[in-house]
Chain A
């Protein structure tokens, strides 16, 4: 068959692709080629990808087809016979290392670096049959909320090409939104999965700290970083998390806990899914309706809350009183951890190296030219916060306030089953709009970063449009309660299944293949001029 030229198969959800492959409606190779064609035609204008491994992906697809044809008969008897992601294209954020492939973390200092080993989650994905297509663009070392801090230039938002896709996992979010892949991996240190998911109309989940191994994930802030999935619906995100979650002996902070089959737990039937919220108590934290929140975003969130209430959930207005301290606390702890983690880029063992007169000169020249402006800012902040005389005033103080932030959530979860909140106070903002003011950029994550400080799981699901751009609804859960968050996301999908916005594709998809459309770097340069 000629499905390789059929763009319709790229519109399927991952679980529909899995069914199509098992039923022999198309091959894994045809599915891959359809996606590669989009990537080839559109990446200049979208710039979601920093590298694409066509050969490696084809080999994986061919191997998947071999397994599908060999075990096809068995698959009909029981779906468990085949690995869950067999033949499904998946993107990795450019900080997940894979053997022999580039992983730059969006940084000049890792240009040309080829990892000698695989991240644990890359192994998990391969065992699950996934076809890893390549690496997606990101803010350098995951520091940013717009993907504009990538050394390789920004990524566009498929809903409006002159706007950011959010960040730092903006490439993963844009690739999923633009149908370049059905699934992608991101990481979330202060909102870097949930905020780009909100801004691109995709589903993104940050699991509980410790749920997914960080082995082979290029580190930003080690007490906050967590790996998670992007998908175009909740079931797909659940399927991907189910594959990568679980204990890994190479990461001592990965928890030795059972991982539920998240996707299998979700009701297929919309009525059943919608009914599952009956009697649930959902907390609405008033502090998350922050000053500066766009009225259109607030309206969509209030409507979503109303829809859940109408479906039988009990909405409890409550307070997380220390929320106003979240931003300052985060912007001490994360840079402090980053300054320690990034000390490894010494220009001696791997990565870019610029020679100076002596060893110190090597460090200064290598790091001075290898790191971008935002990374330098954070390394400076973190070094200062940890330096002699300031440690108590900044770092220790922030760790104590972190305790208070966590306690707010602990108290809330004595009253309610989950929290419901906006993901981002605004829709996608124009390229360049927040680059000149770091604090304005930092405020992008004001509704997501307290969740990382407390180590809790959070999910962002689309809840409609404001000014033609996607709005994200966030559910926050108790530690290890990802199942409930997926269940709530699925219920919300079911409740709003017939909403008109659900059938809309990103507005600017047609322009992605327009040869006269500018690349995102050109748009950004024009915006800043």
Chain B
């Protein structure tokens, strides 16, 4: 199986949206490779004919009645926001300049 390089670790950190220090990236490179070594045991196990299991209880199509019920009031939904304006969460500008 694969071995992670420092560049791979940085790429995965970017995908995961984790801002990591150089020290953290260095430590993770060693630790992740050590953990990935433990996964190697799986490669030798034949599973071509085996269906994957995503969940263990055989429930299907759980539906509720199609009725509207009150949602969380806006003020409560926004109560934990670090920054709000009127009824909105504030984020840095995403689209375009002026």
Contacts and interface: CB of A to CB of B under 8 A. Distances in A.
A399 B52 contact: yes
Given A359-B91, A402-B52, A384 B17 contact: no
Contacts of A367: 16-19
B55 A401 contact: no
B15 interface: yes
Contact of A404 (B24, B47, B92): B47
Contacts of B20: 368, 376
Contacts of A379: 16, 18
Contacts of A352: 82
**How extensive is the interface on chain B, given as a class?**
35 or more
A371 interface: yes
Interface residues of A, number: 72
A497 interface: no
Judged by DSSP, the binding face of B is loop
A349 B80 contact: yes
A255 to B, nearest CB: 6
Contact of B16 (A116, A208, A249, A383): A383
A114 B77 CA distance: 11
Interface in B60-96: 62, 64, 72, 76-77, 79-83, 89, 91-94
Nearest to B76: A116
A501 to B, nearest CB: 36
Contacts of B18: 364, 367-368, 371, 376, 379-380
B19 A377 contact: no
A230 interface: no
Contacts of A56: none
B60 to A, nearest CB: 10
Nearest to A443: B38
Given A113-B80, A252-B62, A359-B91, A368 B2 contact: no
A291 to B, nearest CB: 14
Contacts of B59: 210, 252-253, 255
B12 A360 contact: no
Given A113-B80, A350-B80, A359-B92, A403 B52 contact: yes
Given A380-B28, A454-B56, 15 more contacts: A116-B79, A223-B55, A325-B42, A332-B42, A347-B82, A349-B80, A351-B80, A362-B91, A362-B92, A369-B19, A376-B28, A380-B9, A380-B13, A404-B50, A455-B56
List the 8 closest pairs (A to B, CB-CB), nearest first.
A455-B56, A368-B19, A350-B80, A364-B19, A399-B52, A353-B82, A400-B47, A252-B62
